Amino acid sequence: MHARISANLAIIAVCARPYVAAAAQLGYRIAAFDIFNDVQTRRFSLQSRAVRFQNGGFDAEDLWEQLITLLAPGTPVIYGSGLEIQPALLDRISERFLLMGNAGEVVDRVKQPRQFFGLLDELGIAHPDVRHKGDGGPEWLIKRVGGSGGTHIREGDTLAPDEYFQRRIDGKAVSVLCTSNGAETKVVGINEQWTSPVRAQPYRFGGIVGNVRLPQDIESEMSNVAVRLAPMLGLRGLFSLDFIWSGERVLLLEVNPRLSASFDLYAQAPLLEQHIHACQGGGLYSLPSQRLSRAAHILYTVEPLQVAGFNWPEWATDTPEADVQFAPGEPICTVQAEAADAEGAKALVFARARELDAQLRTFTRTPGK
């Protein structure tokens, strides 16, 4: 048995590092639970643990056992991706701890496609067509209920019980990061995403850039949708909406009712402070203005590798411990960049990713060789 630690904030996410770093700046004693337990997460945490991850979500029993072992009842808990697929686990967490985020019923309301897209139709909010039965085809994508990170999206003809069809729309993936206290909603920033496709996962998340400038009517439509939906869905704290921008229209794909990857692109400590404040029903205050654009890109392995002894650049985060071995397709780290505008940040983060990939290919000692 491990002794219970005196953490005053727990953070659960597939990748907890950006939230942990922000919480550390605010002076919290953090217990972090994610799937990587990387160098930076360990550095900023009082205690950090890797949690098993399977079928698109955290292993519920593994996470629960670690929570009740390490945390005192009533400890505040915030969360990012990895829990949307099992809202009942959020309810279980909220019964023992103080959940600083959307409750399981809110997540379920957002992530159940029949209920969510039905609401959009009632409100006249544009979205790609959705079907729950029938055959697919090249004009349809198959998505998993509660899925995140793009790895759950596939092409095919037949649905599993927890999947649905969404019409494929060609365009640019964009999102809006927001915060709400239940009565008021504010936009933090507009972002652009991209994929890092492989054959088995053609829509795998690749990266994101913030402080993007889109045509004014498109930005206004995205912001208006967020402001309309937040109170109707009962959203509290930070959340984001994913859209596809195609020609002169922007269509809503989904709502992420929790801390998202775009958090990494803005003033993290004030943003986390506002999230906690908003979840308690506090007023929304002005965040520091940000003139520069930040970008984050996920670097994935192509072949098995180990990186013991590698000297990581300062712009690489989520870096692994020396003894970690990677299988093909696994994320190695996050590459960061900042520039005067979004295009400059994207160009720099792609250049850094190519540079780091080349260095690792030269340096890496492949396991078993």
> What's the confidence (pLDDT) of residue 309?
86
Helices then strands, each counted (H, E), the chain: 9, 20
Interatomic CA distance for residues 201 and 222, integer angstroms: 28
CA–CA separation, 221 vs 175, rounded Å? 12
Residue 173 confidence class, pLDDT cut points 50, 70, 90? very high
266 alpha carbon, distance to own chain's centre: 14
Is the pLDDT reported for residue 5 higher than 80?
no
Distance in angstroms (rounded) separating the CA atoms of residues 293 and 133:
42
Let me know: does 96 contact 69? Beta carbons within 8 Å: no
Mean pLDDT taken over the chain: 94
Lowest mean pLDDT among 93-97, 274-278, 322-326, 343-347: 322-326
Q: How many CB atoms lie under 10 A from the CB of residue 51?
A: 23
Task: Give the pLDDT confidence score for residue 4 in this predicted structure.
Answer: 57
Q: Is 341 exposed, middle or buried (0-12, 13-18, 19+ CB in 10 A)?
A: middle
- Provide the pLDDT for residue 148: 82
167: pLDDT strictly greater than 50 = yes
Residue 85: how many CB atoms within 10 A of its CB?
Answer: 21
Q: Work out the number of other CB atoms within 10 angstroms of the CB of residue 122.
A: 9
Q: Is the pLDDT of residue 314 over 70?
A: yes
Binning pLDDT at 50, 70 and 90, where does residue 3 land?
low
Q: Tell me the per-residue pLDDT of 256-312, one tens digit each, with 9 for 90 and over.
A: 999 999 999 998 999 999 999 999 999 998 888 889 999 999 999 998 888 888 999
Give per-residue pLDDT as tens, 315-340. Answer: 999 999 988 889 999 999 999 999 99
Domains within the chain, CATH numbers bracketed: 9-100 (3.40.50.20), 112-279 (3.30.470.20), 293-363 (no CATH)
The tokens for 76 are 């505040």
Residues 6 or more apart whose Cβ sits within 8 Å of residue 34: 11, 12, 13, 14, 15, 16, 17, 41, 48, 50, 51, 82
Q: What's the whole-model pTM score?
A: 0.95
